[in-house]
Amino acid sequence: MENTARASDSEPRADIAAIDSFVRAQMRANNIPGLALAITHNKTILHIRGFGIAGKNRKVTPQTPFFIGSLSKSFTALAMMQLAEKGKIVIDSPVQTYLPWFEVGDKNASAQITVRHLLNQTGGLEGGLKENLSQDADMETAVRALRNLQPTYPPGVKFQYFNLNFSILGLIVEKVSGQSYEDYVRTNILEPLKMERTFFSKKAAQKAGLAEGYSMIMGFAVPAEQSYYRYLVPGAFLFSTAEDLAHYLMAQGNSGNYGNISVLSAEGIAEMHRPVKDIGSPYAMGWYAVERKGHRLIHHPGNLGVFRTEAMLVTDAGYGIVMLINQNNNPLMYRAMADGIISLLTGGKPESESAWMTYRRQSFMLVALLLIVHAALYGWSLTRFTRWREKIHDKSRRFKVLHILPHFILAAILAFAAPALLSRWLNRDATWIFMFEFMPVFALWLSACIFLTLLKGVIKIRILIESRKQINSTY
């Protein structure tokens, strides 16, 4: 059953039914498999609910864990600000103060990059590592690999989004606190905020019922495996639930307070939410600060292969919104959904969609077009069989084989290579049974391609046999 909780009578009378109806309509139109929604207002959870599926025979609930992607960065930023308020770090100090061995591809930049630069994503680093690290590599291995990465800008000059900035920060948390990153965050953030179903490892999240991710293929949601990188946990790979994140948003939106617990001072929260104005960046510390739809928002998306998070604080109205989605094929649409919820909460109406048809309808139209084109090309090729009969009359056996064999090779490639490539893309075994179950239109089209390709080869063989019979009868 879908789970919901409502605010007390003292809270604003938001039209919850309209919000739920809007979410369901968007999920139907865009074929979203599952979504967990939480809405807070000041110090209260106004609404919390699960929609759709978390996997086969599993419903999404507010307690279903999801990958939260880059919303993880705000947890690391909060940890750093806590350590700063305890006097254990100075955020304007160079990284080398806490990690003496730290270096990037430029010696001067290595000494100039500060903790604040990393928090603001202005460290001058972007791109990827020169080394191929295993998914299970630890943070220190990844951070040491930065010695081969050449900065593209001097520190503090330009905003450049770089996930490993927060791996460096996670490592500083460990060195300064004397605890593992996981233990520090659990003790100083999760436990005070009663976030009992937030996890640091995929294995732990799976044990607690982690939602399955879905890719969108030919208009159908298809189960897909989401990769997990241990060394990117502080920046991209925490797992949480709508219920836990409702607690987190309340602390972020109420000057660091959750109930009688304070995880950071009001000044510290304000600093976390303050963007870098002097370089024109909207990025603060693990959060973006922007003006949108007439409201000031503190927000951060989570953007992974098959998971999407939209988390935001509508600061001028006291609302917090988090959406956890087990699909990520259209980030602009998810952002529009969040904007629609803001409009419904603040007395407006969601803007009408500009898309003239849904993704599934677009996919059906595409497949129909492919079938029509394929049928037209096949029909055209049939008219050429008479010419082919005349063409092969005086040709060698090798020539004839080279004109027939490619049809059977292409059919074999379509039958075996296509599922293999799909398996590699989805990171799971995409058998023909799987394709007919989850991508029936695509499977039918691929089957038609294979059948027609084989049929052309068989017709050519038949023409060749008949031609030989005619030659023999002549003699």
Q: Containing domain of residue 406, as a range?
A: 359-474
Residue 37 sits in a domain whose CATH number is 3.40.710.10
Would you say residue 354 lies in a domain? no
What span, in angstroms and rounded, lies between the C-alpha atoms of 233 and 236? 5
Question: The pTM is what?
Answer: 0.79
Q: What is the pLDDT at residue 385?
A: 62
Per-residue pLDDT of the chain (475 residues; tens, 9 = 90+): 344 444 444 455 678 999 999 999 999 988 899 999 999 999 999 999 999 999 999 999 999 999 999 999 999 999 999 999 999 999 999 999 999 999 999 999 999 999 999 999 999 999 877 778 899 999 999 999 999 999 999 999 999 999 999 999 999 999 999 999 999 999 999 999 999 999 999 999 999 999 999 987 766 788 889 999 999 999 999 999 999 999 999 999 999 999 999 999 999 999 999 999 889 999 999 999 999 878 999 999 999 989 999 999 999 999 999 999 999 988 888 999 999 999 999 887 776 544 434 555 666 666 677 777 777 776 676 666 666 666 665 666 676 677 778 888 888 888 888 888 877 766 666 778 767 755 666 777 788 888 888 887 887 777 777 766 665 555 5
**295 and 405, same structural domain?**
no
Would you say residue 293 lies in a domain? yes
Would you say residue 455 lies in a domain? yes
The helix-helix angle for 72-85 and 164-177 (nearest 10°) equals 40
Q: What is the pLDDT at residue 5?
A: 45
Alpha helix positions (H), 145-288: 164-177, 181-185, 202-207, 233-236, 242-253, 266-272
Q: What is the pLDDT at residue 152?
A: 94
**319 and 397, same structural domain?**
no
Would you say residue 352 lies in a domain? no
Would you say residue 309 lies in a domain? yes
Would you say residue 178 lies in a domain? yes
Would you say residue 353 lies in a domain? no
Alpha helix positions (H), 34-185: 72-85, 107-112, 115-119, 139-144, 164-177, 181-185
Cβ pair 451, 457 in contact under 8 A: no
**Per DSSP, what are the bridge partners of residue 6?**
47
What span, in angstroms and rounded, lies between the C-alpha atoms of 217 and 220? 5
Q: What is the pLDDT at residue 191?
A: 98
**405 and 327, same structural domain?**
no
The 8-class DSSP code of residue 327 comes to B
**425 and 285, same structural domain?**
no
User: What is the count of structural domains for the chain?
Assistant: 2
**330 and 439, same structural domain?**
no
Pairing of strands 66-67, 58-59: unpaired
Measured between alpha carbons, how far is residue 304 from residues 130, 138, 215, 229, 317 in Å? 21, 20, 11, 12, 29
What span, in angstroms and rounded, lies between the C-alpha atoms of 450 and 417? 12
**448 and 340, same structural domain?**
no
Would you say residue 350 lies in a domain? no
Q: What is the pLDDT at residue 389?
A: 60
What span, in angstroms and rounded, lies between the C-alpha atoms of 334 and 20? 15
- Which of these three, 345, 378, 400, is where a domain ends? 345
- Which of these three, 345, 377, 394, is where a domain ends? 345
**218 and 155, same structural domain?**
yes
**188 and 255, same structural domain?**
yes
- Which of these three, 312, 345, 378, is where a domain ends? 345
The 8-class DSSP code of residue 14 comes to -
H/E stretch holding 453: helix 440-474
**253 and 205, same structural domain?**
yes
Q: What is the pLDDT at residue 245?
A: 98
Q: What is the pLDDT at residue 417?
A: 85
**466 and 444, same structural domain?**
yes
Cβ within 8 Å of residue 383, ≥6 positions away: none
Q: What is the pLDDT at residue 437?
A: 59
**399 and 300, same structural domain?**
no
**321 and 377, same structural domain?**
no
